[in-house]
Chain A
Amino acid sequence: METTAERMLTGNKAMAEAIAQEMERDPNVFVMGEDVGKYGGIFGSTEGLLKKFGPSRVLDTPISETAFIGAAIGAAAEGMRPIAELMFVDFFGVCMDQIYNHMAKIHYMSGGSVKIPMVLMTAVGGGYNDAAQHSQTLYATFAHLPGMKVVAPSTPYDLKGMMISAIRDDNPVVFMFHKSLQGLGWMDPIDAAIGPVPEAPYTVPLGKAKVVRPGKDVTIVALQMMTHYALEAADRLAEQGIEAEVIDLRSLVPLDRETILQSVRKTHRLVVVDEDYRSYGVTAEVAALAAEEAMYDLEAPIRRLAIPDVPIPYSRPLEQRIIPGPQSIFDTVVKLMEE
């Protein structure tokens, strides 16, 4: 039997490789943020870059998010292609003005005469007891505000391909990477955090969802950790004779409406799973899309699983109660199939 030895990388190494290859290709690409130098990023996103490119292109910054994200905007307007890291997305509160009033709006306010080709990468997600100020995803907070692309890849392959696309994109891209999917030695080791990643540079388009498991009975729309939980649930559902189709959104802005609608028109049932707050969030947006465009294709009400509008609690049983997981997805789908 012939086998092809696929190269396996963790999420963080896939990201760092993408950045390194783009830095080699384009001298205008540079990285700045807190602990991105020697430390290689708290979540490993810039591992090895300082050694390769030196401190003039990999800049450790003071704890001054407004200053360095604002400086990234100013540098991008001058033709550079900065990658700025906001260590945890939860920290956006100290610098959101630069993000939503400037990074996201300058292209529009200038009538398209000023481009801001930058990547704002940031770590998201909970599940490891880091409590209310270090565990959020805040997907919808960013996706709500016009003018920035918002992406959230789920596999090492997509982390690399979408990072390369984000760097080459002429628009500001908020690149959210999930801490649990970085494959870091000091976190719960999970299979999904390691996967095949070709060495040569490649792109994965922004704004395209992916059907990661085909099925005919029900559509589960998810992203990042929820995609992996949905796949686990789908395996168990298959044992019960229920074939779930799982869609990994990958991008929130632009949202791939067509892939969602095609699936709903095929399966006639929809469950949306999100690791963000429930109200006014991703689940509501996807549900509204299905209700507006595919209402008569639905045979049952749409079901939503998300964080039930509480801050993320610290204690293990409390956190496990509020973040959707394979069991709650399984239960929700089983119940929905009876309707």
Chain B
Amino acid sequence: MTVPLPKLKWMYEQMVKIRYYEETMVAVYAEGKQPVFNIGAGTVPGEMHLAAGQEPAAVGICAHLQKKDTVTAPHRPHHHAIAKGVDLKRMTAEIFGKKTGLGKGKGGHMHLFDPHVKFSCGGIIAAGIPHAAGAALAAKMKGKDSVAVAFVGEGAANAGAFHETLNLAALWKLPLIVVIEDNAYGISVPKSESTAVKTNDRRAAAYGIPGVYVEDNDPVEMYRVSEEAVDRARRGEGPSIIEIETYRYLGHFQGDPEIYRNPEEVPLLRKKDPIHRLITLLEEQSVSSGELEQMEIRARQEVDEAYEFARNSSYPDPAEALEDVFHRAEVNV
């Protein structure tokens, strides 16, 4: 399987952008939290779940999605948002709690909504799966060929919403793909201590749908299996499960002491970095180092501009806390 060169370049640029976004956030999040860590202090307060290392899951499938397709994501959502094309400036402003943010400062990093590209995320494990199924149902009812992708962590496969929704989606042949990012831990608990099956693609058998497992955080394999699942969904043949073995380079959240894993684990994972693998593939296809550098510069520039936009934006007026509980136009006549 070879990924078409334009798609490969797109995946590379997105992965570089995501990685740089998350690394920048590590530094920005630490601002104002030194010397003593205080979760509510600094430029970006609250919990912060970063996805450095988990880029292949997001880009491998988003490479097959269009604007009309829906994506729901969990509490660790930046890589999905970027790969789906969420407005990076307004997303960053939201994470900074600014008025110019996607949710005007009411959502924060775990609650990003960009209806222009049909992206949403939320902080409750597995809860986005039924929302994606609903989007898939709406597409089916309207006779459209759009699909919905629900990203979840491997811990979500043990939640009721996962099983209820997959049964429903299989029964109704909804154009839904559930992507499980197996980053090996639910906060601190390893998958082997939480999950009765080794891999969650096996659970697809319970619903009579296809399930595949992508090993070793492989972006190319993720691209390949996603193509099958998305095409199948677009053809009206129903849902699929894709689980990908992926790597979480950082803690569950920033400030996580990571006492539950061996300090040597992450350096070993980083040696197999998926971005390096894509560089090798691009070089094999005669993409010059100059072009790679240009792509990286472009990606970084976009991220820098987003952070700049967020920093320069104003906080909302405190009175705005009372707005947006209900939609103003109360009756749609």
Contacts and interface: CB of A to CB of B under 8 A. Distances in A.
Size bracket, chain A contacts? 35 or more
Nearest to B146: A78
Given A64-B167, A112-B327, A169-B330, A77 B103 contact: no
A237 to B, nearest CB: 37
Contacts of B106: 108-111
Contacts, number: 162
Contacts of A70: 127, 129-131, 133-134, 161, 165
Interface string B301-330: 000000000000000000000011111011
Contacts of B172: 59
B332 to A, nearest CB: 5
A112 B171 CA distance: 33
A198 interface: no
Interface stretch (A2-10, A95-103, A182-190, A210-218): A95-103
B139 interface: yes
Contact of A97 (B102, B127, B168, B330): B127
A50 to B, nearest CB: 16
Contacts of A97: 124, 127, 161
B77 interface: no
A107 B165 contact: no
Interface stretch (A35-43, A113-121, A280-288, A331-339): A113-121
B317 to A, nearest CB: 13
A43 B160 CA distance: 27
B36 to A, nearest CB: 30
A311 interface: no
Interface in B113-172: 113-115, 118, 120, 122, 124, 127, 129-139, 141, 148, 160-161, 164-165, 167-168, 171-172
B139 A78 contact: yes
Interface in A64-117: 64-80, 82, 94, 97-98, 101-102, 106-115, 117
B101 A111 contact: yes
Nearest to A68: B168
A171 B72 CA distance: 21
Interface of B: 70, 72, 101-107, 111, 113-115, 118, 120, 122, 124, 127, 129-139, 141, 148, 160-161, 164-165, 167-168, 171-172, 323-327, 329-333
15 contacts: A61-B168, A62-B167, A67-B167, A68-B168, A71-B134, A74-B131, A74-B132, A74-B136, A78-B139, A110-B106, A110-B107, A111-B113, A113-B103, A171-B327, A206-B330
Given A67-B133, A78-B138, 11 more contacts: A59-B172, A69-B130, A74-B131, A75-B141, A77-B115, A80-B137, A106-B113, A112-B327, A113-B102, A113-B114, A171-B326
Interface of A: 30, 56-57, 59, 61-62, 64-80, 82, 94, 97-98, 101-102, 106-115, 117, 146-147, 149, 165, 168-171, 203, 206
